[in-house]
Amino acid sequence: MRRHWRSDEILPNRIPPNFSPLLADTSHFRTWGEKEALEIRRELAIQDAAKYTPLVADSLHNIGIGLSNLGRHEEALGGEKEALEIRRELAKQNPAKFTLLRELANHDPAKFTPLLADSLRNTGFGFSNLGRYDDALASNREALEIRRELRKQDEAKFGPSYLESLNGVAWGLTLLGRHREALPLIQECVDAIRCLQLDKPDMFSSGFPEFLDTLSVALVGVGETEAACAASQESVEKFRDLVTIDARRHDPTFAEVLRNFAAPLSALAQYDKALETLEESLSIYREVVVKEPRMYKKELATTLHRYADVLAKVGREEEAIKAREEASTLEGRSVSDQVRVITSFDKRSRD
């Protein structure tokens, strides 16, 4: 389950002790700061519902984005649902004011078209996290087309979000097994970032490792295993640096990147290194699944499938069976079902 890098990411601000309702109304905070703002806005909404209830919905939405980026998707979904219900009620009370972003974008493109693209991106993230990959791809494609036009108007302002959307669409295509369509998009993204980093080495420092992982997955899908291995190796190295800075934030995505690295390694018959990489991925997933089992049990089981497959290739059948048994326990399936899942995955990887 991928974290989804955003082009507008910033680190959470530290809120001063004299934090005020005015600050809540005028400042943009990430998750921690928005929670503080939400508490204040709920109190203010009791006194003046008309003025502050829309701001409660805004804070809930922002908290949802922050929690989703931290991998806490179930908590994020709860906040998004509450925000949606509030906005539906507001729309019933005042349809002219709380109209859809599409209509606002038609009325004032300069102001609302970028917001429409952001909303479509966030919707795509939500669909993807729920496993609705076709819906996610449709939302991300629409966001990409909007940002492509915006980029023509202002490269400096909208270029980063355009590259973000390129990665989002490419990743969505890989999830649907459409690797040949994904490859030119993610290659364009990676090549553009490499050029930008010649002058600004730190640009996209948190997003680029994820984009390299997308490139590797697409390359594996079209049979370019050596190039995929190189992209994965670079992605893993860059993610190690990010994990050193903030393990809680990056560990789940790092575990997925490690798991993906094992695919080209195994295809190149580098089984020992593939097993080592998968063992590191498993170690991370075992830690995060303790904290959020419903979110990461599936990811742990998927990694166990891959691990069992490589173990079987090197003749360690007993260990492979144990790994499949553990996966079956996590997913509530029989071992024979697990074998069919692995066989099906291998077939899709070859197609």
Domain chopping of the chain, boundaries: 1-9+29-98, 205-351
The stretch 327-335 carries a mean pLDDT of: 78
User: Structure pTM?
Assistant: 0.71
Cα dihedral sign, 116-122-124-126:
negative
Overall fold of domain 205-351:
1.25.40
Which residues touch 254 (CB under 8 Å, ≥6 apart)? 236, 239, 240, 242, 243, 284
Mean pLDDT of 263-281: 97
Helix axes 31-47, 49-69, angle to 10 degrees: 160
Torsion of CA 117, 123, 126, 127, to 10 degrees: -120
Distances (CA, A) of 45 to 61, 261, 332: 16, 49, 45
Question: What pLDDT is attached to residue 151?
Answer: 93
Q: With contact defined as beta carbons under 8 Å apart, do 271 and 310 qualify?
A: yes
- CA nearest to 306, candidates 255, 233, 240: 255
Distance from C-alpha of 228 to C-alpha of 79, rounded to nearest angstrom: 38
Question: What string of H, E and C letters represents the secondary structure of 310-340?
Answer: HHHHCCCHHHHHHHHHHHHHHHCCCHHHHHH
* pLDDT the model gives residue 22: 36
What pLDDT shows up at residue 108? 66
Mean pLDDT value across residues 242-264? 92
Of the two residues 32 and 301, the one the predictor is more confident about is 301
Minimum mean pLDDT range among 120-129, 169-178, 185-194, 237-246: 120-129
Cα–Cα distance between 28 and 20 in angstroms, integer? 13
Q: What is the DSSP string of 176-195?
A: TT-HHHHHHHHHHHHHHHHH
Whether the per-residue pLDDT at 310 is higher than 90: the answer is yes
Residue reference for tokens 């078209």: 113
Lowest mean pLDDT: which of 109-123, 155-169, 285-299?
109-123
Question: Which residue in 101, 136, 133 sits closest to 117, CA to CA?
Answer: 101
Lowest mean pLDDT among 16-20, 80-84, 217-221, 284-288: 16-20
Neighbours of 199 (CB within 10 A): 7
pLDDT, position 319: 97
pLDDT for the residue numbered 94: 56
